[in-house]
Chain A
Amino acid sequence: GEDVEQSLFLSVREGDSSVINCTYTDSSSTYLYWYKQEPGAGLQLLTYIFSNMDMKQDQRLTVLLNKKDKHLSLRIADTQTGDSAIYFCAVAWNKLIFGAGTRLAVHP
């Protein structure tokens, strides 16, 4: 079946860039998503990319998609303490398949 993998933890200094990586197995995915979950809350859509795109930029967020390697990344520029959360990669075919989530910790 489909599988989505992410590293579980990332720690960065405030003001640095964060890069969260994701690999997936289903090459027929049409949409790929990044969700953010803050403590005690549900998931909130952060950004997404269509499978026919290589890159998408949205303010401080940059999504890169390498379809050949089935690799998706999310770059957060100028990371702030408010960016501390769990970030989930999700790929969509007929349903959404989620990775385990990457906990981003931002320290001064």
Chain B
Amino acid sequence: DVKVTQSSRYLVKRTGEKVFLECVQDMDHENMFWYRQDPGLGLRLIYFSYDVKMKEKGDIPEGYSVSREKKERFSLILESASTNQTSMYLCASSLQGATEAFFGQGTRLTVV
């Protein structure tokens, strides 16, 4: 079974902190994604990566950056956390862009 693992289920951080959310997949997938999920807004794409060291902005990249140094790992970085970044963050991977995406369990981040 494909496994996508996010490093934390719950995280509480202070405003202004630098925050790292880590995601690892074990199926040698080319593509990895970071979404945030907010009630009534569904999933919004923050960034995605289709290869090591490659990244593309999604719909809401402001305030975020990403890193993909190894194929299996995709990190989301909040450079200076703000309260409006309190959300559920979901990582996903897929073999190709249009094929089935497998999701991690999510990280609920609260910024206080």
Q: Chain A residue with minimal CB distance to B43? A: A98
**B106 engages A41 (CB within 8 Å):** yes
Q: Which of A1, A42, A95, A97 has a CB less than 8 Å from the CB of B106?
A: A42
Chain A interface residue number, banded = 20 to 34
**B45 engages A100 (CB within 8 Å):** no
Complex alpha-carbon distance, A48 and B99, angstroms: 10
Q: Which of B31, B45, B103 has a CB less than 8 Å from the CB of A43?
A: B103
What A residues does B101 contact at CB under 8 A? 45, 90, 96
- What does DSSP make chain A's interface, helix, strand, loop or mixed? strand
Q: Chain A residue with minimal CB distance to B100? A: A45
- Is the C-beta of B33 less than 8 angstroms from some C-beta in chain A? yes
Q: Chain A residue with minimal CB distance to B44? A: A98
Complex alpha-carbon distance, A39 and B41, angstroms: 16
Hey, what's the 0/1 contact readout for A38-66 against B, CB within 8 Å counting as 1? 00011111001000000000000000000
Top 3 closest pairs, chain A to chain B, by CB: A100-B42, A42-B103, A92-B98
Residues of B within 8 A of A (CB): 4, 31, 33, 35, 40-43, 45, 48, 58-59, 90, 92, 94, 97-106
